Amino acid sequence: MTKSLRIVVLVSGRGSNLQALIDAQLVGKIRSQIVAVISNITDAPALERARRVKIPALVVASKGKNNDIFFNELQNEIKKYNPDLIVLAGFMKILAPSLVKAYANRIINIHPSLLPSFCGLHAQQQAIDAGVKITGCTVHFVDEGCDTGPIIMQRAIDIKSNDSQTSLSDRLLAIEHQVLVAAIKLIEDDKLVLQGKKTLLSGEPT
- Total residues contacting ligand GRF (rule CB under 6 A)? 12
Provide the total of helices (H) and of strands (E) in the chain, helices listed first: 6, 9
Answer yes or no whether residue 110 interacts with ligand GRF by CB under 6 A: yes
Contact between 145 and 109 under an 8 Å Cβ cutoff? The reply is no
Among 5, 8, 15, 142, binds ligand GRF (CB under 6 A): 15
Strand partners, 10: 38, 88
Task: Determine, following the binding rule CB under 6 A, whether residue 13 of this chain makes contact with ligand GRF.
Answer: yes
CB nearer ligand GRF, residue 96 or residue 200: 96
User: Using CB under 6 A, which of 83, 108, 111, 141 touches ligand GRF?
Assistant: 111
- Rounded Cα gap, residues 42 and 15, in angstroms: 13
Residue 155 as a binder of ligand GRF (CB under 6 A): the answer is: no
Which residues within the stretch 160-179 sit at the binding site for ligand GRF (CB under 6 A)? 173, 176
Ramachandran region, residue 63 (left: φ > 0; alpha: ψ -120 to 50; beta: rest): beta
| Residue 16 near ligand GRF by CB under 6 A | yes
Question: With respect to ligand GRF, which residue has the nearer C-beta, 176 or 188?
Answer: 176
In the region spanning residues 49 to 88, those forming contacts with ligand GRF, defined by CB under 6 A, are none
From the list 179, 127, 180, 183, the residue with the least C-alpha distance to 158 is 127
Q: Is 149 in the site for ligand GRF (CB under 6 A)?
A: no
Residue 169: C-alpha distances to residues 102, 111, 159 (Å):
32, 11, 10
Distance of alpha carbon 100 from alpha carbon 193, whole angstroms: 19
Q: How far is the CB of 13 from ligand GRF (least distance, A)?
A: 4
The letter for the amino acid at 157 is: I
Nearer to ligand GRF, 63 or 206 (CB): 63
Q: What's the rounded Cα separation, in Å, for the pair 149 and 107?
A: 10
Could you give the residue numbers annotated as active site?
111
90 binds ligand GRF (CB under 6 A): yes
Q: Of 9, 10, 17, 60, which one interacts with ligand GRF (CB under 6 A)?
A: 17
Part of the chain binding ligand GRF (CB under 6 A), chosen from 7-15, 78-86, 93-101, 185-193: 7-15
CA angle at residue 144 from 142 to 101, to 5 degrees?
Answer: 80
Name the site residues for ligand GRF (rule: CB under 6 A).
13-17, 89-90, 110-112, 173, 176
